Amino acid sequence: MNSLIYTTATRIIVPVTLVLAVIVLLRGHNDPGGGFIGGLLAALAVAILEKARGVDAARAWLRVEPLTIAGAGLVAAIAAGLWGALEHGMFLTGVWPFYGPNAAGVNEGVPAGSILLFDLGVFLVVVGGVSGILFTLEEAGVPAEQPDDEEDS
């Protein structure tokens, strides 16, 4: 797209969309949101960038092939499931890594566990998958219109 306004607005829209995607991802394991919606927002940022600057610029901006991103997400999601299986004997059981009670009797630890890891995996699968499809469709181009065959009656 050769629009100066769109290209200029992309400089603001893409970072804001990515920050919103991360916020939705991080709040998703406690509230509505999560990896899928955050991944769609991040893929939207890639799509906006691709339309403004082209596929090559969007690929360079990602720095990693979309299929690699999706594969890393799949590994993270499977790791979250295996973590639950190792801790509790059931695949995809939520695990919260607390170290134990402190002097006040409150559990200390990281308030992010296997659920956040799973959401991160879903996020990466969605970003990689949607970006890969978008790039493939854009590189294939729009086929030229074929005139309809007119039948002689």
In 118-127, which positions are buried (b, 16+ CB within 10 angstroms) versus exposed (e)?
Answer: bbbbbbbbbb
* Residue 99: strand, helix, or coil: strand
pLDDT at 18: 97
Half-sphere exposure of 1 toward its Cβ, with a 13 Å CA cutoff?
14
- Tokens of residue 37, six digits: 């919606």
pLDDT at 1: 66
pLDDT at 127: 98
pLDDT at 31: 72
pLDDT at 21: 96
pLDDT at 75: 98
Q: Helices (DSSP H) in the chain: which residue ranges?
A: 4-27, 35-53, 55-62, 66-88, 114-140
pLDDT at 151: 59
Could you state, in chain order, the average pLDDT of each consecutive group of 10 residues for the chain (153 residues)? 87 97 86 88 97 94 96 96 91 79 70 86 98 94 66 55
Look-up of token digits 């970072």 = 15
pLDDT at 74: 97
The answer to whether 107 and 101 are in contact (CB under 8 A) is yes
pLDDT at 3: 86
